[in-house]
């Protein structure tokens, strides 16, 4: 990381944004392919060219359980201009928003009788051929199969990633196929990149704390960085036994084997770096309730420090920033995770029993959130 010392935090975060935006381009294609497979444009067309998500869902014959997930796909397609979007007066009511056809989505309408009568081939066929590399990928096939699932069917439903990889979860693939899928190394690399920026830009969130538990902190990269910056702060990493067994010796942090869904050791504060986005709302509430039981009272400095995305938190005129957030959400949807906007975060915070929070959007597409009991 010494090679990056010549760059400011802003320059580094912008560079990361550029690389992520380019890398996530696949999911622009995936969103378009899902919309074509589910014939969303046809549904909106039959509804008069403008419709709410519940109306689109019913018209397209998609299971109601996929409402939130279709909203996420449509969010990506509206940011890129394939559909247009009319925000309701009450911004808390996601499902009253109206989606409209644009010239681009109008070309995707399959059941265009005027073209058929004139003997013309529909223009969407060329789009389908251009999407072929995406459509032929395991991830895309998994997402398509997942949208066709019905959560109401008997038995558990697999995440898109598992449908794509013979039932393996992302964690199982990371463990058994580390050479071709170096997921754990990628997370450690991100920690090494981000944590010096965190301490430089908002290190005050750790100041005054006496103890900190880094939940699901892996081999302790983040905790070690924090402990080096605040020598009087007792830092502990909580992770599963098989992870803690690989922890380095002689580190300036302690390691505790455990499960964040069961309990978290008593502490002044809890640190969650890029953890909650891996889980659905119900699991997040459970984790946060355990955090609340573990931390001190607010008057004693008790809080939860979260690093995650807050969708919509960036500059309103930065399309690349907005698009990267919503495309990352489609990526994380593959493991049944969620990138949340502030309203969605607020819902799980308050459901877990917390009273207040503060969002600090200084980490590019990610933010620091301070959550108070």
Beta-ladder partners of 366? 309, 363
Which H helix or E strand runs over 370? strand 366-372
C-alpha–C-alpha distance, residues 373 and 355, integer Å: 5
DSSP string of 88-132, one letter each residue: -SSTT-GGG-EEEE-HHHHTT-S--HHHHHTTPPPTHHHHHHHTH
Note if 176 is an active site residue. no
Q: Are 33 and 130 in contact (CB under 8 A)?
A: no
Scan for tokens 């920026």, then name that residue: 197
Identify the active-site residue in 21, 94, 144, 277. 277
C-alpha–C-alpha distance, residues 195 and 189, integer Å: 10
Q: Are 216 and 245 in contact (CB under 8 A)?
A: no
Q: Which residues contact 271 (CB under 8 A, 6 or more apart)?
A: 212, 213, 214, 215, 217, 222, 223, 226, 304, 305
Give the residue numbers annotated as catalytic, written as ranges: 277
């Amino acid at each position: 990381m010494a090679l990056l010392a010549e760059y400011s935090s802003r320059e580094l975060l912008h560079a990361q944004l550029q690389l992520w935006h380019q890398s996530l381009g696949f999911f622009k294609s995936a969103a378009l392919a899902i919309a074509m497979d589910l014939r969303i444009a046809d549904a909106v067309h039959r509804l008069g060219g403008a419709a709410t998500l519940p109306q689109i869902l019913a018209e397209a014959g998609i299971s109601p359980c996929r409402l939130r997930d279709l909203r996420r796909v449509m969010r990506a397609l509206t940011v890129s201009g394939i559909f247009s979007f009319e925000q309701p007066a009450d911004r808390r009511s996601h499902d009253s928003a109206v989606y409209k056809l644009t010239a681009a989505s109008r070309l995707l309408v399959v059941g265009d009788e005027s073209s058929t009568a004139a003997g013309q081939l529909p223009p969407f066929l060329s789009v389908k051929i251009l999407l072929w590399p995406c459509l032929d990928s395991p991830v895309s096939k998994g997402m398509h199969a997942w949208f066709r699932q019905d959560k109401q069917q008997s038995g558990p439903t697999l995440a898109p990633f598992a449908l794509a990889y013979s039932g393996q979860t992302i964690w199982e693939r990371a463990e058994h196929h580390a050479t071709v899928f170096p997921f754990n190394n990628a997370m450690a690399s991100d920690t090494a990149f981000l944590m010096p920026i965190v301490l430089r830009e908002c290190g005050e969130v750790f100041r005054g704390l006496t103890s900190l538990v880094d939940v699901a902190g892996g081999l302790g990269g983040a905790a070690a960085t924090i402990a080096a910056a605040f020598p009087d702060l007792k830092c502990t990493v909580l992770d599963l036994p098989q992870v803690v067994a690989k922890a380095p010796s002689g580190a300036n942090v302690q390691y505790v084997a455990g499960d964040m869904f069961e309990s978290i050791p008593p502490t002044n504060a809890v640190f969650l770096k890029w953890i909650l986005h891996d889980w659905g709302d119900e699991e997040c509430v459970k984790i946060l309730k355990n955090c609340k039981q573990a931390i001190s009272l607010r008057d004693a400095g008790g809080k939860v420090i979260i690093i995650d995305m807050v969708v919509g938190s960036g500059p309103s005129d930065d399309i690349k920033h907005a698009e990267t957030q919503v495309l990352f959400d489609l990526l994380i949807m593959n493991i049944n995770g969620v990138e949340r906007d502030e309203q969605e975060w607020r819902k799980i915070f308050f459901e877990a029993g917390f009273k207040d929070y503060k969002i600090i959007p200084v980490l590019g597409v990610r933010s620091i959130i301070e959550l108070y009991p």
